[in-house]
């Protein structure tokens, strides 16, 4: 009977005054009608909040939350770029927030000057990655000779060029006491010129980009190239002069690095040099080929092209220029070659 009454009370079909029941029945009824409530799981809510609530970079999170290192899926990086693992802070706690550090920025190495400075047969040497460099003394400029002493240096090191009693340039009067240095990198050699009198030249195979003011050597000749500067729109009147058929540059035959003996304006698409052929000829120079080299006008600037003469064509480098391994250099009147090991 009691069970039937309790069932009706629970189902709501009967109102029951519990205080009117005997003590024994009152305890049974209260126990039967009390259904404990289960609290909602907190862990599931926390997990959802942890997954959905994120603090954008640079915005402080609410107080009292945790710092969670959560990797972020990234799109595949473009070829040649650097991928950096970067943790993201989710709701950092005020007491545990770590100072954010700037990501390292990848700075590419300087691009070598656009030129060919090694024979095609040695292209694999020039394109490799060196662990050490070997410098070989080849002899004097314009004089055939057997390779002489060699010097080896590790990548990251340097070799000072200068005339001293113990250096391979001791008897070369065209080398300064402190001439320059070669700095060896895995991908090439950086030339550092200490503002020397006669500089450092590189032998050109194929072609090399010319910059206004560059010097180059062919046989016994020293030539300087100068690009013509056009009058700009600064409000100043154009300069007066002789009729201009469209000159875009000038070459000077130099007695020294500072004094010129003759000048030749350039208005054709190219200007060539040789012993018996070309626009500019040096018939008394026995070290020149009949047609030795030429300067060719390009859409932007000009290029110097060697035409296969035995003595070669040599371009003066500027401090900071990078040459590949396998290149042949001219320091004063001394030829050297730098190979990768």
The domain spans of the chain are: 2-33, 120-230+247-340
Q: Is the pLDDT of residue 276 over 90?
A: yes
Closest CA to 196 of 175, 217, 171, 224: 175
Distance separating alpha carbons of residues 303 and 43, to the nearest angstrom = 72
pLDDT in tens, 176-193: 999 999 999 999 999 999
Paired tokens of 330: 């001219």
Q: Is the pLDDT of residue 108 over 50?
A: no
Average pLDDT over residues 314-334: 97
Sequence-distant (≥ 6) Cβ neighbours of residue 200 within 8 angstroms? 161, 179, 180, 191, 193, 316, 317, 329, 330, 331
pLDDT at 257: 86
Report the first-to-last Cα separation within the chain, whole angstroms: 104
User: Hey, what long-range contacts does 105-112 have (CB within 8 A, 24 or more apart)?
Assistant: 106/81, 106/82, 109/185, 109/187, 110/320, 110/322, 111/322, 112/187, 112/188, 112/321, 112/322, 112/323, 112/324
pLDDT-wise least confident of 25-29, 133-137, 189-193, 310-314 = 25-29
pLDDT-wise least confident of 93-107, 148-162, 303-317 = 93-107
Q: Is the pLDDT of residue 172 over 70?
A: yes
Average pLDDT over residues 171-177: 97
Contact 184, 133 (CB under 8 A): yes
| Share above pLDDT 90 across residues of the chain, in percent, rounded to a whole number | 53
Q: Is the pLDDT of residue 96 over 70?
A: no
pLDDT at 52: 41
Q: Which residue has 């030339």 as its token pair?
A: 191
Paired tokens of 97: 């927030």
pLDDT at 273: 98
- Model confidence band, residue 284 (pLDDT cutoffs 50, 70, 90): very high
pLDDT at 25: 52
Closest CA to 315 of 113, 54, 32: 113
pTM over 0.75: no
pLDDT at 235: 76
pLDDT at 308: 96
pLDDT at 314: 99
pLDDT at 200: 99
- Model confidence band, residue 61 (pLDDT cutoffs 50, 70, 90): very low
Strand-strand pairing, 302-306 and 270-274? unpaired
């Amino acid at each position: 009977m009691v069970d039937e009454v309790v069932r009706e009370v629970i189902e709501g079909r009967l109102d029951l005054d519990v205080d009117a029941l005997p003590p024994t029945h009152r305890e049974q009824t209260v126990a039967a009608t009390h259904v404990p409530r289960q609290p909602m799981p907190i862990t599931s809510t926390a997990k959802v909040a942890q997954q959905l609530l994120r603090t954008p970079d640079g915005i402080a999170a609410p107080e009292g939350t945790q710092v969670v290192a959560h990797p972020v899926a990234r799109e595949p990086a473009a070829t040649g770029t650097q991928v950096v693992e970067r943790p993201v802070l989710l709701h950092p706690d005020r007491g545990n927030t770590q100072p954010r550090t700037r990501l390292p920025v990848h700075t590419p190495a300087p691009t070598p000057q656009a030129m060919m400075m090694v024979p095609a047969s040695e292209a694999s040497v020039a394109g490799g990655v060196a662990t050490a460099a070997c410098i070989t003394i080849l002899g004097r400029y314009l004089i055939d000779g057997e390779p002489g002493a060699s010097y080896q240096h590790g990548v990251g090191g340097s070799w000072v060029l200068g005339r001293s009693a113990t250096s391979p340039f001791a008897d070369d009067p065209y080398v300064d006491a402190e001439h320059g240095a070669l700095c060896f990198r895995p991908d090439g050699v950086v030339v550092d010129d200490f503002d020397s009198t006669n500089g450092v030249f590189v032998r050109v195979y194929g072609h090399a980009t010319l910059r206004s003011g560059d010097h180059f050597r062919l046989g016994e000749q020293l030539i300087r190239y100068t690009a013509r500067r056009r009058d700009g729109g600064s409000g100043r009147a154009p300069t007066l002069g002789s009729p201009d058929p469209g000159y875009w540059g000038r070459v000077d035959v130099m007695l020294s690095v500072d004094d010129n003996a003759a000048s030749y304006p350039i208005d054709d698409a190219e200007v060539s040099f040789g012993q018996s052929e070309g626009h500019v000829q040096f018939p008394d120079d026995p070290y020149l080929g009949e047609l030795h080299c030429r300067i060719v006008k390009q859409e932007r600037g000009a290029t110097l092209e060697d035409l296969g003469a035995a003595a070669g064509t040599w371009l003066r480098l500027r401090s900071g220029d990078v040459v590949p391994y396998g290149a042949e250099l001219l320091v004063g009147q001394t030829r050297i070659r730098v190979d990768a090991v």
